[in-house]
A and B are shown apart, each in its own frame.
Chain A
Amino acid sequence: MKKKGAGWRPAWAKLDNTAILFPVIASKEMSNVYRISATLTEEIDGELLQEALDILLPQFLAFRMRLKMGIFWYYFEENDRKPPRVTEENSYPGTYINKSMNNHYMFRVTYYQKRINLEVFHALTDGYGGLLFLKELIYQYLRLAHRDDAAFAGEKDRLSPGLSLDQEDSYSKNFRKPKSADEAYRSKRAVIIKGERRPKGELGVMHGYFPLDQLKAAAKSHQVTINQYLVGCFVYSIYLEYLHKTPTEHPINCCVPVDLRSYYNSNTLRNFFAMVAALFKPEKDDYSFDEVLQIVKDSLKAQITPENLDTILSYNVSNEKNMFLRPIPIFIKNIAIRSVYHGIINGTTATMTNIGNVVLREPYQKYVEHFYAMLNMSKGQDLKGAIVSCNGTLILTFTTRLVDVSIQKRFFRLIVGDGVEVAVETNDVIPDEEPENKGVRARNARKKEKKKKKRNNRKNK
């Protein structure tokens, strides 16, 4: 990236309402980093991917930011350092992003075989922004990788036409003074999934592949949407495998982030979502799958209304707007935010997010096979799910810190029971797998092989 001249004034931005929380609570155990990946139909060339990022980042201010600490608040300031180094994947998904390393960028790009991974610190943007960035990165990468291909002749090293780079704080823009002091989130205790954990730092990943049309039919047969169906299956699996059908004092609370952009006509690249909860409190001995689905459906339907989302937004932003709280020094605010956060972590059982259907523009679509989304763990939540669909396949990824996978097992079996074909993949490395997939030594050998190929190609030219 070009070094800026002496008169350069770095842009800056205050953190949006959701982002305020993340730098305060982020740690190596709870990184608040999510991953969105895409698999291409071809092997990734790391150098080309770096080149694509070098072209893209100067055009994408929302990602060209570093996190700085002020006296009263954190804030973002434009970063003029070189783009972060693209590396081959060498850590578990969503590992902590150290704000003083990685050239001070709050995201990282890695690759492995055919997969490109984008990991983003949640303060920077939500899944919508992350997905847009990854799509543009893929466009640039494929354009570079196929520069001799006639299909890419008209493609330029610019962002896609029509892409909105709006960075407004839509929370503040759409804030209306709450009518009552009634809390939008009631942080009542929920069922907390506990169990033996994997070794520190390890994250279990399990992808479930579903054909979208079959899943649609299954959801329709229960008269629910796909999202309600998947959340309902998840809640029912927790009910069967963790609660063993016993009535409990506390409900199962599955958090579902709702993208607010369509409700407020916003295109912001910054965070703009609200959390609603799929609540199910078992009060009798035996609930059927359809009963739970109906409860989850009603719970989500009642909360995902413009009025309720407005109440949630206004309640959340009202604290930030409080004139008495704003001038409190950041180190005191941090203590207060941390203690409030720790007070409410027992209010959520799990999270299930849906990024939606990804469509790429032509001529890129045929070079991309799948998209994946993954959430890292939070305190009190050792199991999370993230959904994304592309090319007629919906992929739900469970991430967990727990050794036990009985909830996931029940979840997939429920869906198979509804006549959906399911394929499962994990991040466990199978010892018998082909040697090229294994170990650092093999990876280095692959790198050497690639370099050799390149050298030969150059010689031939």
Chain B
Amino acid sequence: MIDRIAQLPGLGRPQLPPLPMIRRQQIPEELGRATLLGVALLYLLVLVALPLVIVFVQAFAGGVRSYLAALLDPYALAAMRLTLLTAAIVVPMNLTFGIAAAWAIAKFEFRGKNMLITLIDVPFAVSPVISGLIYVLMFGAQGWLGPWLNEHNIRIIFAVPGIVLATTFVTFPFVARELIPLMQTQGNEEEETALSLGAGGWQTFWLVTLPKIRWGLLYGVLLCNARAMGEFGAVSVVSGHIRGQTNTLPLHIEIMHSDYNYVGAFATASILAMLALVTLVAKALLERRQPELRARAARQAV
């Protein structure tokens, strides 16, 4: 608990005596702070809040009835189902992988550890379109595994497995990235104690490690889920855009928009926006529950 408090920002720093030079410039500093705050707020308002409002305004531009009609359109429903299915497969997979990777990295010393950390970051570093193309090059008819897959009638890209794979690739750092620093700072002592008291490996994990990391884990899962539902670039490359079959919500929005169906596009976009808002609210609730998370969020914000 003590080192948690030490991590909270603002507890260490204000105790330092302010430099006299800064004190003399207090009024300009306050002015500067207000200006900065104003600029930041305006920036957020114009770039984030306003577009979000416009999404909902446009979605209801044709009235509630056409809004509902756009959402109950069979293609829109199919896109929602596919997006939910994809998230339901991808999130548990990345949850498992993320815990395993974070566990290995935080609790053990082994050769190639830095390599593994770098690899986990690869999906953040490459453009999603490239991620999609990787799968086309691997599983496409002209790709490495294409002829074999074709012979055995297995379809990966331009079908649901390809969409799941591409989404998994793009979202797999979220859980691991969230857990690695958390588990590293928590250290091994409690696990070692449990083991020395005779607990098994699984028992130690379920009863000692999991309770320690649960909030960070949930936070990572939320981020992973948000991205999995919103991913456009990688999925667009491997989808094949078959209406009612391989279109996810973001792809459906694009189709509606290029179809001059603006109400449909924005209605579908409002669903995605609401999913994002739910995620944000869940995240805020989590942070309120857990001072450590709030501290981490604050540190990241700085």
Query: Do A and B actually bind?
Result: no
Residue numbers of B with Cβ under 8 A of A are none
